[in-house]
Structure 1
Amino acid sequence: MQNAKLKDRVIWITGASGGIGEALARELAADGARLVLSARRQSELERVRSSLANSAQHLLLPLDITDNSAVADAIDTIQQQIGGLDWLINNAGISQRALIIDTTPDTDRKLFEVDYFAQVNLTRQALPLLLADGGGKVVFVSSVAGLVGTQYRGSYSAAKAALHLWANSLRAEFFDQGLRVATIFPGFVKTDVSRNALTGNGSALGTMDDAQANAMSAEDFAEQAVKALLKGKSYIVIGGLKERLAALVSRLSPELLYKMIRNSKVR
């Protein structure tokens, strides 16, 4: 059954070729939204679109979000072919599986380029389109790691934390213009994120972590995320009990959190 709040809403999802992005696309399409789907691999975007409700109405925009001119072209295409944008879901990103001592500066920079700078740039360029009709919604997919920091994810955690705080500033600056900003902090979700995560030298890990393999499904995550977004929530933590507890403790007792993180199993 479609949701009246989402019917015919134009929603742009980056990182839509698999995992959380694909699951969000299915959930939102089933609720009647008109989607713009972006990722680097067109063949995977086509596969995702073919699985969606009302597949013919969804626009595919293959995109490397770190390419500034390609981002500008994508926004022009949305304006020309659709005419407006209601939601932007910044989901594209890359994770890390390497100790700090083993991580090169180039890998640090790549993580920040994808997980922070590209997201900020895309959002800034999309603001005129989002604000044109009196406001829209920007959603950032951060991470519980961006709230607590964990082993093997030093630069990833830092980039996701930076994204969270930039979102806070964006929310404050544009509230009176009708823009609403939400940040989602996923815990472990069963996707290929660990397979694609960068090791210290920048190569892909290529295997799935035990924590990832035993985590909640992307479909469960998407259902919870959309429900929270429709309720107007801005700070959304989704994960298992341990991740939700860590997020809570990070706000109440940082010293206790540090002890918990030292003893946690994150691989």
Structure 2
Amino acid sequence: MTIKNTAVNNRVIWITGASGGIGEALARELAADGARLILSARRQSELERVRTSLPNAASHLILALDITDHDAITAAIAEIKQQIGGLDWLINNAGISQRALITDTTLDTERKLFEVDYFSQINLTRQALPLLLADGGGKVVFVSSVAGLVGTQYRASYSAAKAALHLWANSLRAELFEQGLSVATIFPGFVNTEVSRNALTGDGSVLGEMDDAQAKAMSAEQFAEKAVKALVKDKNYIVIGGLKERLGALVSRLSPELLYKMIRKSNVR
């Protein structure tokens, strides 16, 4: 096997949301580079499918896990410690999107989005810190979203949760830098995955259809290749998307007033 990124060879890397989409693509990219993976998601059968498709399949650990379950996270970390002994990277990729106007979204749906996209992520990260720091520091990766930088129609609570995750990551980076912890945040634009099909509508039901922008977007494999390249270069602020998403991310930093005008005129769903 030819290894492209020797920086991850033999590293133990935990990926949540690994049963499909971006998580599965990251698993393929990292496994091809010699990483030893821990794959988590709720569906055991899909995790088995992903694992059997990877190089050195027997070396990868699968942990069926609902990341909103505090006790299940505690048990998963204990199992990692027992079976592997350590952890080099944690990639917080699990999440859920939204397709609903603010006036159509219930408070219960808002809370569910924050529970999955923010609270569960920071809880898992905090519980994993002792393993990550045990050998002098590791890497935590948060998969946020360009929506968390700009905020758009139909994604208010999703955007807010992803923005909160980004700022929590900034604080984590500052607080634990001296202990050797590296913290990276990735901001994907549109990627061709099932994310829109699984997105929540205002009443909490699943949308069940693919967005046009999602269908025409870069593949998950293209995204994963770009993401891993940036991570092994120790980039901490990583925007990956088409021209419009990258422009929006840039304008959000340079001219918020211009960004607000751009968003009002944008055609999103």
Matches within 5 A, 1:1-267: 1-2=2-3, 3-267=5-269
Structure 2 Cα separation of the partners of residues 229 and 265 of structure 1 = 32
Q: CA deviation at 1:122?
A: 0.2
Q: CA deviation at 1:128?
A: 0.2
Q: How many residues align?
A: 267
Q: CA deviation at 1:178?
A: 0.3
**What TM-score do you get using the length of structure 2 for normalisation?**
0.99
Q: Which amino acid aligns with 1:120?
A: I
| Cα RMSD after superposing both structures | 0.5
- Write the deviation string for residues 117-148 of structure 1: whole angstroms up to 9, x where unpaired: 00000000000000000000000000000000
- Compare 227-236 and 256-265 and name the one that shifted more: 256-265
Q: Which amino acid aligns with 2:151?
A: G
Q: CA deviation at 1:265?
A: 1.9
Structure 2 Cα separation of the partners of residues 79 and 26 of structure 1 = 23
**What TM-score do you get using the length of structure 1 for normalisation?**
0.99
**Percent identity over paired residues:** 83
Q: CA deviation at 1:4?
A: 1.9
List structure 1 segments (4+ residues) > 6 angstroms apart after TM superposition.
none
Structure 2 Cα separation of the partners of residues 51 and 244 of structure 1 = 32
Structure 2 Cα separation of the partners of residues 16 and 262 of structure 1 = 34
Give SS of 2:39's match: strand
Structure 2 Cα separation of the partners of residues 165 and 43 of structure 1 = 34
Structure 1: gaps spanning 5 or more residues: none
Q: CA deviation at 1:7?
A: 1.0
